[in-house]
Amino acid sequence: MMGHFYLEPTALVDWAVGRASAAPAPQQAASAGIDRLVHDPSASCAVAEVGLVEVHTSLCKYLMKTEPDFRAYDGPWMDACLEDVMTWLAAGHVQMLPHAPGLFETAMRHVTAATREHGRKFRSWDALHLAHAVWWARSIGSMVTVVTDDSAYATFLGLYPVFGRFVQLQSPSTL
């Protein structure tokens, strides 16, 4: 799977959720896909610091759920997920992107443009991830695939096709 892949938090949360034995099929597929991707030496994978914060937050939300369907998402599950992510980073399977200068200013612009120019919502975290992925693509002079299940990105790229020169989207379950 040659190329550069930005692991957006929803994809990583799908990966984590999919590790539980009783996980829904789409998350299991996402989990297997991301495992393949990060261990593929021809794939260059990256995350951002803000993304890791989001993953922590989402995993904690699963941990807090008390319904029977969520029993598998317990402390050991969360520990194992985070340990794996740290192992990827330590081994260099996934790189942590540096905090891009001007990132927040750029993200604010994306959020505002979507609403004021098109009357559409684009969330701040999504704008930050897009800005990160585009910054990475432009830095290396190569297309970056944003691995995500969040439809907000496709909507935004539909509004501003110029971003398609730098990033493309792929669902983790199709990796």
Partner 1 sequence: MPMLPPTILLIDDDVAWSETVIDTLASEGYAAEHAATWEDGVELFRVGGHELVIADYDLRDSKNGLRLLVTLKRLRPSTRLVLISGALPVEGQQLAAHAPTVDLFLVKRTTIIDDLKPELESAVERAGRNADWTKVASAYLAQGVDNDQLTRIDQELRDQVDRG
Interface residues with partner 1 (CB under 8 A) are 97-99, 101-102, 104-106, 109, 113, 131, 134-136, 138-140, 160, 162-163, 165-166
DSSP states along 71-107: TTSSHHHHHHHHHHHHHHHHHTSEEEPP--TTHHHHH
For partner 1, the closer of residues 70 and 160 by Cβ is: 160
For partner 1, the closer of residues 34 and 131 by Cβ is: 131
For partner 1, the closer of residues 39 and 165 by Cβ is: 165
**Contact criterion met (CB below 8 Å) for 134 and 166:** yes
Closest contact distance (angstroms) between CB of 113 and partner 1 is 7
For partner 1, the closer of residues 5 and 135 by Cβ is: 135
Residues belonging to the chain: 175
Q: Phi and psi dihedrals of 102, rounded to 5?
A: 75, 10
Closest contact distance (angstroms) between CB of 68 and partner 1 is 46
**Contact criterion met (CB below 8 Å) for 9 and 132:** no
**Contact criterion met (CB below 8 Å) for 101 and 114:** no
Closest contact distance (angstroms) between CB of 105 and partner 1 is 5
Determine which helix (DSSP H) or strand (DSSP E) holds 49, and give its type and residue range: helix 49-64
Closest contact distance (angstroms) between CB of 163 and partner 1 is 6
Q: In the chain, what is the straight-line distance between the N-terminal and C-terminal CA atoms, in Å?
A: 8
For partner 1, the closer of residues 76 and 161 by Cβ is: 161
Closest contact distance (angstroms) between CB of 50 and partner 1 is 14
Report residue 157 as tokens. 């790229």
Residues 114, 95: Cα–Cα separation, whole Å? 30
